[in-house]
Amino acid sequence: MARHICASILAADQGRLAEEAQRMEKAGADFIHVDVMDGKFVPPVHYGVETVRKLANQVRIGIEAHLMVQRPWESVGEYAKAGAQRIIYHRETGNEKEMEKTASIISKSNSVAGIAINPATPVERLSREMLEGNGIILVMSVNPGWAGQDFIAESPEKVAQVSSLLGNYGLEREIEMDGGINAHTAKQCALAGAHSFVAGSYLFKSKDAKEPIGQLRTLMEK
Ligand code: DX5
Ligand code: ZN
């Protein structure tokens, strides 16, 4: 299973997004993670299609769009066109049909689809079809909306549940974690079956991001 480190620009210096993204590229991140928020699904408002389009031209690594928006099926096509190679939407935003429709629009646009679950959403809300139809299962380890929050301690258990659910169906999918990730919390999640990590504060707040990225890489490969 491929393993990735995604740098969340929500924790970057917002006045220098291009330089900040390039700093992460040089330090060895695999993707730039863009947290799109609509002020409805979550209270804050952040970024949009134009941010993705610009960043996609400013770095050579890929862009991962994490859409914390209502009715994601209405905008995922635009994010794919703007150059997001991976597009993640939330399970809480619609019914099974709408989830299916969203994944299918993303896949038809040749991007990788990802479905995210909030800390309060039980893994049973992920049907076999949803697990099958998405390349990434994103387990939120904080409540979405803000960078710099504390990791929710029950998250590794949630990862283990997703991992065993996938195993029951004989499926292999990339399990990614997002929120409060550092070397310590990532280790617990990796042991529970997580493959990939989104990190904001841990990477951007460090002067030389090579160090935290190296640490994450080491424990991911163990
Ligand atoms: C939270 C976002 C995360 C967040 C991660 O709503 O989805 O991507 O920016 O930031 P840290 O790593 O600081 O928790
Ligand atoms: Zn995110």
Residues 6+ apart with CB under 8 A from 33: 6, 7, 8, 9, 64, 66, 178, 198, 200
- What Å distances lie between residue 83 and 53, 67, 131, 142, 154, CA to CA? 6, 14, 24, 27, 34
Residue 221 has pLDDT above 90, yes or no: no
* pLDDT confidence of residue 40: 98
Task: Please report the pLDDT score of residue 222 as a whole number.
Answer: 73
Here the contacts of 106-109 (C-beta below 8 Å, separation 24 or greater) are 106/76, 106/80, 107/133, 109/76, 109/77, 109/80, 109/81
pLDDT in tens, 37-80: 999 999 999 999 999 999 999 999 999 999 999 999 999 999 99
Mark whether 208 is an active-site residue: no
10 Å Cβ neighbour count for 181?
A: 28
Provide the pLDDT confidence category of residue 113 given band limits of 50, 70 and 90.
very high
- To test ligand 1's pocket by mutation, which of 5, 6, 10 has the most ligand atoms within 8 angstroms of CB? 10
Q: What is the pLDDT of residue 190?
A: 97
**204-219 pLDDT tens trace:** 999 999 999 999 999 9
35 in catalytic set: yes
> Which ligand is closest in space to the CA of residue 199?
1
Could you give the domains of the chain? 5-221 (3.20.20.70)
